[in-house]
Amino acid sequence: MRVMGIDPGGAVTGYGIVDGEPQAPLHCVVCGCVATRSGSPFEQRLKLIYEEIAGLIRCHQPQQIVFEEIFVSRNVRAALQLGQARGAALIAAIQADLPIFYYAAREVKLALTGYGASGKEQVQSMVSGLLQLDLADRPLDTSDALALAICHHHRTASSFRLQGDTR
């Protein structure tokens, strides 16, 4: 199963696609970030996020897409921009008619590191180890997106095992 994780942000949107059968090791298909220019009009930044995510979906054909659940922020402006960036990426997924799933950050951290309050660097280290990738020079948004995809893939594989499906 091919799963795309998206970690949206107004300045940087991380993405990562993993692939693998429920009983087999995962591998990274593609990962990276959509980086927007802070001086650009925000509408143009949203357009870029949408276009890049839509292009990745067309090119790599994920079967499911995973987003981090929205968390409450004290900075209202940042929260609004995050929501709008998430909306741009969501529209790309919706237009591709893909199933969309959501996980809380704590849930992803717990699934990958065993500790729901892990730091981003800890998550990056675990993702690097699981996928045998060197992510040290990549933005943390990339490893966060991959972590979402890995978490969902593992949850789905566990569900198959519980149902007796050995696909």
Catalytic residues: 7, 68, 141
How far is the CA of 155 from the CAs of 19, 41, 111, 116, in angstroms?
Answer: 14, 39, 9, 16
Per-residue tokens: 100: 């969309």
Q: Which of 137, 121, 131 has its CA nearest to residue 151? A: 131
92, 98, 102, 108: CA torsion to nearest 10? -100
Q: Which of 55, 40, 16 has its CA nearest to residue 138? A: 16
CB-based burial label for 141 (10 Å; 0-12, 13-18, 19+): buried
Q: Please report the beta strands in the chain, taking only residues with DSSP state E, as ranges in sequence order.
A: 2-7, 12-19, 27-35, 64-68, 100-103
CB-based burial label for 155 (10 Å; 0-12, 13-18, 19+): middle
